[in-house]
Amino acid sequence: MDAKKVLIVEDEEAIVEILQFNLQREGYNTVVAMDGEAGLALAKSEDPDLMLLDVMLPKMNGFEVCGNLRKDGYRMPILMLTAREGESDKVFGLEAGADDYITKPFSMRELLARVKANIRRQNMGVPTGDGPLQLGDLALFESSYTVQKNGTALDLTQKEFEMLRLLMKTPGHVYTREDLMEKVWNYDYFGDTRTVDVMVRRLREKIEDDSANPRYLMTKRGVGYYFAEKI
Ligand code: CA
pLDDT tens by residue, 6-20: 999 999 999 999 999
Task: Based on the fold, state whether residues 102 and 39 are members of the same structural domain.
Answer: yes
Dist CA 123 CA 46 (whole Å): 23
Residue 105: inside a domain = yes
Of 199, 217, 197, give the one whose Cα is nearest residue 207: 217
* DSSP-assigned states of every residue in 159-180: HHHHHHHHHHHSTT--EEHHHH
Looking at the structure of the chain, the number of domains it has is 2
Cα 120 to averaged position of ligand 1 atoms, centre (Å): 27
pTM given for the model: 0.80
Task: Based on the fold, state whether residues 215 and 110 are members of the same structural domain.
Answer: no
Task: Based on the fold, state whether residues 140 and 110 are members of the same structural domain.
Answer: no
Cα 57 to averaged position of ligand 1 atoms, centre (Å): 5
Cα 137 to averaged position of ligand 1 atoms, centre (Å): 43
Residue 26: inside a domain = yes
Task: Based on the fold, state whether residues 110 and 10 are members of the same structural domain.
Answer: yes
- Containing H/E element for 80? strand 78-82
Residue 78: inside a domain = yes
189: containing domain: 133-227
pLDDT at 191 exceeding the cut of 80: no
Which tens digits make up the pLDDT trace of 93-152?
Answer: 888 899 888 888 899 999 999 898 888 754 444 445 567 889 999 999 988 889 999 999
